[in-house]
């Protein structure tokens, strides 16, 4: 599903921020990506959701070599990946409903087809009463749940989440982790980047630990 | 929870980088384009009228010479010309008509003493014109001093002038279009810059460059169309104002402007459809230019 082999990444002429990273993500796998701030977690995630291409090494996603992919082939691959950002990246001018429906609108679905799915998923993340609210009036936790709903509405094969519990209290963090586990049980591969060691200790899953750009798998 | 499906919000916010300035500038350009098209139509219509008058008539000049009998020559010419194929009528202009033609150039005084040539007006069938070479040859034999003037030189001059003015109008239209293209390029860049974060989210959610360009394009189509409509309305109002402004004097600009809309000749209504091309062209320029610019810029975004 996802395989990195001796991948290196540098920004411009700067030093390598990722060095010889090799990993495999199997279908239905759950993995944590840990590491101190600045260790390269976000850079690795950006590689995984195709916002960047590696400067060396091989990155294979859904059986395709990402390095040699043409630009017009990227959207179809990106649609198979859901991403939850640390800063949510909700569009402030759209309602919660429209934010969550965004991936479905992108593939050309009509409101009458996706409306019920969007409402169901907003209920699932506990935002059934915020359907018409706009992001500026949502709390941090509500924004995080709206971002998760948007990431999973199109039933992606891989879910990548960057510090999804970074802005929420422990109770909500536990609830969000439960959401991710439930999604994983339905077959989605999940990768969560976090520096919250307590979150990792609660589960017995693969841990990818980044230290100064190098990856250790435990 | 309501089961009503609300109309989805615009994916690209309308508030960021509004296109009001572009609408205003493009409306001014469309207004200038309408004036340019109107001027071109007026010139071509006037030249067509003058040229058709010239084409349906030729003149034979007969200079006054003491060695010739003028009246006898005029009679011979009339008989000869009237018998020719393609000639619809022959009229001998008397001396006073000749004097009237000369008066604006040299005044009325002393005209009696001048040997003013006599003129014969020959009305020809402009659909099936006579063979002018054969006509001239026949005239030379019958009355060697007669000179045939087919007005071809004047007609050619008129047409050359019309072509030059049409070319100038076309150059002005091209320059206006290029300026509009440049404005749309700047505006498209501004809209994309203002919505960079939205574009990034769309890309990551799997939107293609085409999808994003289409979402932004809609605003440019509306801008192009409405600026075209405003410019066209302004141009039409301007021609009407010009027409009323000079009614009393019946001067050139006023009567020409009036003629553009009030006195269309047979089949001339079609020429007015040229004005409708202005909003269409403005919409096409806004659509195509913004699409190319957006696609090029989106290609630079990772």
Q: What is the ipTM of this complex?
A: 0.89
Q: What is the mean pLDDT of chain B?
A: 83
Nearest chain A residue to B214, by CA: A106
Contact yes or no for B260/B239 (Cβ under 8 A)? yes
Q: Return the DSSP state at A71.
A: G
CB contact under 8 A, B197 and A89: yes
State the average pLDDT over residues B39-66. 81
Q: What is the mean pLDDT of chain A?
A: 89
**Confidence check: pLDDT of A27 > 80:** yes
Least confident of A141-155, B206-220, B227-241, B260-274: B260-274
Q: What is the pLDDT of residue B267?
A: 53
Buried b (16+ CB within 10 A) or exposed e, B29-54: bbbbbbbbbbbbbbbbbebeebbeeb
In chain A, what percentage of residues exceed pLDDT 70? Answer: 100
Distance CA B154, CA A166 (A): 87
Q: What is the pLDDT of residue B156?
A: 83
Q: What is the pLDDT of residue A179?
A: 84
Q: How confident is the model at residue B257 (pLDDT cuts 50, 70, 90)?
A: low
Collapsing DSSP to helix, strand or coil, A186 comes out as: coil
Q: What is the pLDDT of residue B246?
A: 58
State the average pLDDT over residues A52-75. 90
Q: What is the pLDDT of residue B287?
A: 94
B206 interaction partners in chain A (CB closer than 8 Å)? 75-76, 78-79, 103, 106-107
In chain B, what percentage of residues exceed pLDDT 90? Answer: 29
Q: Does any CB of chain A come closer than 8 Å to the CB of residue B196? A: no
Q: Return the DSSP state at A68.
A: G
Collapsing DSSP to helix, strand or coil, B98 comes out as: helix
Distance CA A113, CA A97 (A): 14
A97 interaction partners in chain B (CB closer than 8 Å)? 6
Q: How confident is the model at residue B1 (pLDDT cuts 50, 70, 90)?
A: very low
Least confident of A27-36, A139-148, B108-117, B185-194: B108-117
CB contact under 8 A, A76 and B206: yes
Q: Which of A52, A75, A91 sits opposite B208 (nearest CB)?
A: A75
Q: Does any CB of chain A come closer than 8 Å to the CB of residue B154? A: no
CB contact under 8 A, B5 and A76: no
Q: Which of B8, B11, B206 sits opposite A78 (nearest CB)?
A: B206
Q: Return the DSSP state at B11.
A: S
* Residue of B205, B214, B300 best to disrupt the A interface, most CBs of A under 10 A: B205
**Confidence check: pLDDT of B302 > 90:** no
């Amino acid at each position: 599903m996802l395989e990195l082999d001796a991948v290196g990444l540098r920004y411009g002429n700067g030093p390598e921020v990722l060095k010889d990273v090799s990993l495999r993500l199997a279908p239905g796998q759950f993995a944590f990506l840990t590491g101190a701030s600045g260790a390269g977690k976000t850079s690795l995630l950006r590689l995984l959701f195709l916002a960047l291409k590696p400067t060396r090494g091989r990155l294979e996603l859904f059986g395709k070599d990402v390095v040699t992919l043409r630009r017009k082939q990227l959207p179809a691959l990106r649609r198979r990946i859901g991403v939850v950002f640390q800063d949510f990246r909700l569009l402030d001018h759209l309602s919660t409903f429209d934010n969550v429906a965004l991936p479905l609108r992108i593939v050309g679905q009509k409101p009458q087809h996706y409306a019920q799915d969007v409402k169901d998923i907003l209920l699932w993340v506990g935002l059934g009463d915020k359907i018409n609210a706009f992001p500026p009036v949502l709390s941090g936790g509500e924004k995080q749940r709206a971002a998760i709903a948007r990431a999973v509405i199109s039933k992606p094969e891989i879910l990548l989440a960057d510090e999804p519990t970074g802005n929420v209290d422990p109770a909500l963090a536990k609830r969000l982790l439960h959401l991710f586990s439930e999604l994983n049980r339905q077959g989605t591969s999940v990768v969560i980047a976090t520096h919250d060691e307590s979150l990792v200790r609660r589960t017995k899953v693969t841990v990818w630990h980044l230290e100064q750009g190098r990856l250790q798998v435990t | 929870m309501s089961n009503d499906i609300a109309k989805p919000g615009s994916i690209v916010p309308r508030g960021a980088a509004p296109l009001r300035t572009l609408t205003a500038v493009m409306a001014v350009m469309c207004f200038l384009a309408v004036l340019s098209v109107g001027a071109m139509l007026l010139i071509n219509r006037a030249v067509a009228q003058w040229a058709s008058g010239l084409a349906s008539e030729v003149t034979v000049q007969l200079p006054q010479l003491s060695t010739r009998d003028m009246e006898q020559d005029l009679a011979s010419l009339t008989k000869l010309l009237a018998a020719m194929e393609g000639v619809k009528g022959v009229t001998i202009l008397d001396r006073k008509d000749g004097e009237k033609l000369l008066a604006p150039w040299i005044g009325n005084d002393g005209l009696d003493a001048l040997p003013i040539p006599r003129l014969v007006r020959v009305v020809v069938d402009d659909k099936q014109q006579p063979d002018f070479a054969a006509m001239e040859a026949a005239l030379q034999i019958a009355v060697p001093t007669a000179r045939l003037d087919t007005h071809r030189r004047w007609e050619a001059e008129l047409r050359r002038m019309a072509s030059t003015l049409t070319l100038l109008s076309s150059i002005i239209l091209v320059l206006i279009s290029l300026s509009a293209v440049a404005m749309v390029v700047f505006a498209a860049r501004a809209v994309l810059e203002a919505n960079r974060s939205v574009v990034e989210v769309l890309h990551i959610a799997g939107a293609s460059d085409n999808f994003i360009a289409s979402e932004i394009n809609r605003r440019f189509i509306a801008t192009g169309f409405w600026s075209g409509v405003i410019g066209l309305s302004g141009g039409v109002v301007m021609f009407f104002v010009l027409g009323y402004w000079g009614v009393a004097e019946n001067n050139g600009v006023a009567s020409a402007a009036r003629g553009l809309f009030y006195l269309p000749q047979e089949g001339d209504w079609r020429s007015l459809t040229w004005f409708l091309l202005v909003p269409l062209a403005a919409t096409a320029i806004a659509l195509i230019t913004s699409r190319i610019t957006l696609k090029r810029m989106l290609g630079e975004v990772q």
